[in-house]
Amino acid sequence: MSRTATSPDSGLLASSTHFRALEALYASAPVNALFDSRLHIAEAEHSTIVFSVDETMHHAARAAHGTIYFKMLDDAAFYAANSLVPDRFLLTTAFNLHFTKPVRSGEVTAHGRWISGRRRVFVAEANLIDSEGEEIGRGTGTFMRSSIELAGLPGYRAPE
């Protein structure tokens, strides 16, 4: 019986490839063409999205509309959870959102973090930090494994 030795870094390499492919998937989503945003996954269970808020995202009272908060919180939590799943696309099944401060303009960072679950249902949270370092929103979501294979999605690819 022959045994194949694997390098201690082989899991890290596989994870890194998965993370870059998830970043490419985010960038390829048509909705993300509407936002000046960028996803980064440095390690499993965590994600970061940096985006810019300007007046085109305002509601009538001249602050960012809640849809922006939801989208970035959901995406950050989603990608933190999906960083643990190398074969399937997760689906958001619920998301609870809290607005803590309005934002009018500037760079905002969404930090996502996986909390629990590794089989079928995942729980992850995210918060939004404005350019002054203050939290402007937070949320917690549940995400479920789907039948959609990541490898079958045209945007899911490692950079060459």
Tell me the CA end-to-end span of the chain in Å, nearest whole number: 36
Please report, for the chain, the start and end positions of each structural domain, with discontinuous segments joined by +: 10-149
Q: Does domain 10-149 have CATH number 3.10.129.10?
A: yes
> Residue 158: what pLDDT?
78
Q: Is 79 helix (H, G, I), strand (E, B) or coil?
A: helix
**How far is C-alpha 94 from the chain's CA centre?**
15
> Residue 67: what pLDDT?
97
For the four alpha carbons of 86, 21, 41 and 14, in that order, the dihedral sign comes to: positive
Q: What is the pLDDT along the chain (160 residues), one digit of tens a residue?
A: 333 333 334 455 669 999 999 999 999 999 999 999 999 999 999 999 999 999 999 999 999 999 999 999 999 999 999 999 999 999 999 999 999 999 999 999 999 999 999 999 999 999 999 999 999 999 999 999 999 999 999 999 977 7
Phi first, then psi, for residue 68 (nearest 5°) are -70, -45
> Residue 39: what pLDDT?
98
Cα separation, 102 vs 99, in Å, equals 8
> Residue 100: what pLDDT?
96
Phi first, then psi, for residue 23 (nearest 5°) are -60, -40
